[in-house]
Amino acid sequence: MAVDIRNVAKKREQRYSYGLTLLRDCIERDRDLPREEDIFKKVILKVEDITISFGGLTALSDVNLELKEGELLAIIGPNGAGKTTLLNVISGFYRPQKGNIYFQDKRITHYSSHRIAAMGICRTFQNIALYTGLSVIDNIIAGRHPHIKYNFLNGMLYFPWARREEARQRAIAEDIVDFLEMEHVRNTTVGMLSYGLRKRAELGRALALEPRILLLDEPMAGMNLDEKEDIARFIIDIHEFLRIPIVMIEHDMGVVMDIADRIAVLDFGVKIGDGTPEEISKNPKVVSAYLGSTGE
């Protein structure tokens, strides 16, 4: 799927804007959005010969993967194929026994998970990890933490500049709430929300971090068709408008085939396929892993 990367040069008044403009402004202030000539070309994340085993079980063996600028990469595979493990390795929750991970040509294999998050590799979890006692908006503001520009003391004494900063962060969070269409639950504690809305809130928090790369672990699991369509739309919008490269684990083949630029297939810890949706759907190895061997 070709990504429309037409630059949205015109700045509009907030009310008539394309949405997420405040967040985009914040991102643009910190770094340049990827240049057009780098899209689909420049490798931003590289996974090299990763092997990890738990006891006798090899979860991943010699997995190689590249994520390019502006790309939406889907990872698919049967249960227990090692998809989530791969995300956990990338985000620093697990240490690989062999192999390396490079982010923008920098080896990050042995970085701690919070350091990797601070570099801009943000993720959502399969079993949602939010502050259940806080409201949606507070959860999203919590995601802004690395970007808040006042220190503990300022915040405690609530100086005027701290207050201004707080208002700015709240505005960005509201921008995200507006984008994810969660106005009606902004003040509801996350624990009270349905599964689909919690997933959305988690996506919102990941966005608030101004991610350089977004890792999504089954963003549509357990949702009905309507909710899936909404999330798919949000993912496409994030990907196209903010030009954030995304790695997404998803089981719904319809969605994956529709929105992914490239698909990687894992089976028992081994990468058995990598290519465009069309190539993957014709790959005999993938077909046999999904539908069972044909006995050849």
Partner 1 sequence: MKGSITQETWAKLMPQEGYDTFPKLMRRNHWQWGEKKVAYRYKDFGIWQELTWEDNYAHIKALAGGLASLGFEAGDRIAICGENAPEWFFGQLAAQSLGGISVGLYTDATPKELQYIIAHSEAKIVLVDDQEQVDKILSIREEIPKVETLIYWIAKGMWSYDDPWLIGFDDMMERGKEYDRDHPDFFDRSIDSQDGDNIAVLLYTSGTTGLPKGSMVTYNNLLSIFQGWDEALPWKEEDENLSFLPPAWIGEQIFTVAPNLAKSIVVNFIEKAETIQSDLREVGPKVILFGARQWEMVCSEIQSKMIDSPWWKKSVYHLFLPVGYRVARFQEEGQRIPWYWKALRFISYWCVFRALQDKIGLRKTRTPITAGAALSPDNLKLLRAIGVPIAQGYGATEVSGLDTVQMQKDYYRPEGSGEPFPGVEVRITDEDEILLGGVGVVHGYYKMPDETKKAFRSGYFHTGDGGYMDDKGELYIVDRVKDMQTLKNGDRFSPTYIEGRLKFSPYIKDCMVVGNNRESVVAIINMDYENTGRWAERNHVAYTSHQDLSQKKEVRELLGDIVGKVNGVLPEKQRVTRFVVLHKDFDPDEAELTRTRKLRRDFMEKRYDKLIQGLYDGQDKVEMETTVTYRDGRQATWKIDIFVQSLEG
Q: Which residues bind partner 1 (CB under 8 A)?
A: 4, 6, 8, 12-19, 137, 170-171, 174-175, 177-179, 181, 183-184, 186-187, 233, 237, 240-241
| 131 SS3 class | coil
CB of 6 to partner 1, least distance (A): 6
Pick the closer one to partner 1 by CB: 13 or 296: 13
Residue 47 tokens read as 């996974």
CB of 70 to partner 1, least distance (A): 14
CB of 111 to partner 1, least distance (A): 34
The CB density around residue 118, as the number of other CB atoms within 10 Å, is 14
Pick the closer one to partner 1 by CB: 101 or 238: 238
* Whole-angstrom distance, CA of residue 121 vs CA of residue 90: 8
Measure CA 168 to chain center.
Answer: 24
DSSP characters over 32-60: PPPPGGGTTTSEEEEEEEEEEEETTEEEE
Q: Are 82 and 59 in contact (CB under 8 A)?
A: yes
Pick the closer one to partner 1 by CB: 118 or 148: 148
Return the closest-CA partner of residue 247 out of 72, 69, 121: 72
Pick the closer one to partner 1 by CB: 38 or 240: 240
CB of 41 to partner 1, least distance (A): 21
CA dihedral 81, 84, 88, 89 (to 10 degrees): 30
Pick the closer one to partner 1 by CB: 2 or 291: 2
CB of 174 to partner 1, least distance (A): 4
Alpha helices in the chain (DSSP H): 21-30, 83-90, 113-119, 136-143, 152-157, 160-179, 195-208, 225-241, 253-259, 277-282, 284-291
Pick the closer one to partner 1 by CB: 244 or 286: 244
CB of 251 to partner 1, least distance (A): 26
Q: Give the H/E segment covering residue 66.
A: strand 57-68
